[in-house]
Amino acid sequence: MASAVVRVAGRRLSQQSASGAPVLLRQMFEPKSCTYTYLLGDRESREAVLIDPVLETAHRDAQLIKELGLKLLYAVNTHCHADHITGTGVLRSLLPGCQSVISRLSGAQADLHIGEGDSIRFGRFALETRASPGHTPGCVTFVLNDQSMAFTGDALLIRGCGRTDFQQGCAKTLYHSVHEKIFTLPGNCLIYPAHDYHGLTVSTVEEERTLNPRLTLSCEEFIKVMDNLNLPKPQQIDIAVPANMRCGVQTPPS
């Protein structure tokens, strides 16, 4: 199964998804950390990928996957999260054959490590990996191969972005990541973030390019804003980060 993750040396992936029915997509929510988990599947092959699972909702996700008759190939994290423990360890136990995936630049353990230009394939579809560091060094954005949707993790939120004041964050790096790796996508590309704190579920590249109050600033202004957010420490960071450094390889809790 490891062969399904393929390095494409920066080339744009072929429009595989245009040849058949649209990708199966389910967006699920975990309220404590306001995290979105995304299930993507191929209706023909029944192969599927899960993005940013949460420990507390892993059994829910596994149940949905079984109900839909899907085979989960990969449980993927956009980065090493600080606000929740990943559900990949539990999912690997509940759904044999599932492998955990994370960026090699995260420094975390996983079954498979990915980087810029790699693709994660499931049936006729693929997710292209775009490195989008700044919130953390190992952040990635996953772009569906017809560029109709992007899963941006904490790099780009709806009318916001991830903080840059811990986990080796860098506001300047984040600004360039979003402008060079996400805002260069088609304007109608749907943006699905890892979190939302206001009840919003989806945006578009064009909306965020023109309406995002932080990322429409100059780089210098953006850095000043990010350096003065004065946000509280994430409540779960002390337990979440160490657990997530063993991303999906940790022993599931009994």
CA 252 distance to own-chain centroid: 21
Structure-block tokens of residue 97 = 């054959």
Burial of 238 (0-12, 13-18, 19+ CB in 10 A): exposed
Cα–Cα distance measured from residue 202 to residue 190, given in angstroms and rounded to the nearest whole number: 7
Instruction: Tell me the pLDDT band of 247, cut-offs 50, 70 and 90.
Output: low
pLDDT at 11 over 80: no
Structure-block tokens of residue 72 = 């989960």
Average pLDDT, integer, range 93-111:
94
Binding residues for Fe cation: 79, 135, 154
Cα–Cα distance measured from residue 84 to residue 240, given in angstroms and rounded to the nearest whole number: 5
Tens of pLDDT, residue by residue over 112-125, are: 999 999 999 999 99
Q: Given this model, what pLDDT does residue 5 score?
A: 53
Tens of pLDDT, residue by residue over 166-181, are: 889 999 999 999 999 9
**What residue ranges do the domains of the chain occupy?**
24-230
pLDDT at 21 over 60: yes
Q: How many CB atoms lie within 10 A of CB 138?
A: 26
Cα–Cα distance measured from residue 163 to residue 2, given in angstroms and rounded to the nearest whole number: 33
Tens of pLDDT, residue by residue over 187-233, are: 999 999 999 999 999 999 999 999 999 999 999 999 999 999 987 77
CATH number of 24-230: 3.60.15.10
Q: Given this model, what pLDDT does residue 249 score?
A: 58
Three-state SS string over the chain comes to CHHHEEECCCCCCCCHHHHCCCCEEEEEEECCCCEEEEEEECCCCCEEEEECCEHHHHHHHHHHHHHCCCEEEEEECCCCCCCCCECHHHHHHHCCCCEEEEEHHHCCCCCEEECCCEEEEECCEEEEEEECCCCCCCCEEEEECCCCEEEEECCCECCECCCCCCCCCCHHHHHHHHHHHHCCCCCCCEEEECECCCCCCCEEHHHHHHHCCCCCCCHHHHHHHHHCCCCCCCCCHHHHHHHHCCCCCCCCCC
Structure-block tokens of residue 133 = 């560091």
